[in-house]
Amino acid sequence: MLKKFQLCLLVILLLSCGFLYQLFLKSSCLFCLPPYKSQQGPEALLGKGRSIVFLETSERTEPSPLVSCAVESAAKVYPEQPVTFFMKGLSSSLQLPPNSTHPAFSLLSAIDNVFLFPLDMKRLFEDTPLFSWYTQINVSEQRHWLHVSSDASRLAIIWKYGGVYMDTDVISIRPIPEENFLAAQASRYSSNGIFGFLPHHAFLWECMENFVEHYNSYIWGNQGPELMTRMLRLWCRLEDFQEVSDLRCLNLSFLHPQRFYPISYLEWRRYYEVWNTDPSFNDSYALHLWNYMNKEGRGVVRGSNTLVENLYRKHCPRTYRDLIQGPDGLVTQGGGSR
Ligand X SMILES: *[C@@H]1O[C@H](CO)[C@@H](O)[C@H](O)[C@H]1NC(C)=O
- Which residues of this protein are in contact with ligand X, per CB under 6 A? 61, 98-99, 138, 140-141, 198, 201-202, 250-251, 280, 282
Q: Which is nearer to ligand X, 40 or 310 (CB)?
A: 310
CB of 102 to ligand X, least distance (A): 7
CB of 198 to ligand X, least distance (A): 5
CB of 72 to ligand X, least distance (A): 21
In angstroms, what CA-CA distances link 166 with 24, 27, 53, 126, 193? Answer: 33, 29, 6, 22, 6
CB of 44 to ligand X, least distance (A): 22
CB of 156 to ligand X, least distance (A): 17
The pairing of strands 52-56 and 83-87 is parallel
In angstroms, what CA-CA distances link 28 with 32, 33, 37? Answer: 7, 11, 9
Which of 229, 245, 71 lies closest to 165 in space, CA to CA?
71
- Cβ atoms of 57 and 149 closer than 8 Å: yes
Q: Which is nearer to ligand X, 18 or 143 (CB)?
A: 143
Q: Which is nearer to ligand X, 18 or 34 (CB)?
A: 34
Please tell me whether residue 107 adopts helix, strand or coil conformation: helix
Q: Which is nearer to ligand X, 38 or 100 (CB)?
A: 100
Q: Which is nearer to ligand X, 28 or 91 (CB)?
A: 91
| Helix spans in the chain (H) | 2-27, 42-46, 65-77, 103-109, 121-125, 130-136, 145-161, 202-213, 225-235, 307-315, 317-319
Beta bridge partners of 184: 190
Task: Mark residue 296 as left, alpha or beta (left: phi above 0; alpha: psi -120 to 50; beta: remaining).
Answer: alpha
Q: Which is nearer to ligand X, 61 or 337 (CB)?
A: 61
Beta bridge partners of 174: none
CB of 334 to ligand X, least distance (A): 16
CB of 55 to ligand X, least distance (A): 17
Residues 179 and 163: their CA atoms lie apart, in Å, by 8
Q: Which is nearer to ligand X, 135 or 138 (CB)?
A: 138
How crowded is residue 60: how many other Cβ atoms within 10 Å of its Cβ? Answer: 17
CB of 250 to ligand X, least distance (A): 5
Q: Which residues contact 314 (CB under 8 A, 6 or more apart)?
A: none
Q: Which is nearer to ligand X, 113 or 208 (CB)?
A: 208
CB of 242 to ligand X, least distance (A): 19
Q: Which is nearer to ligand X, 98 or 297 (CB)?
A: 98
Taking the mean position of all CA atoms in its chain, how far away is CA 60? 16
Residues 105 and 97: their CA atoms lie apart, in Å, by 10
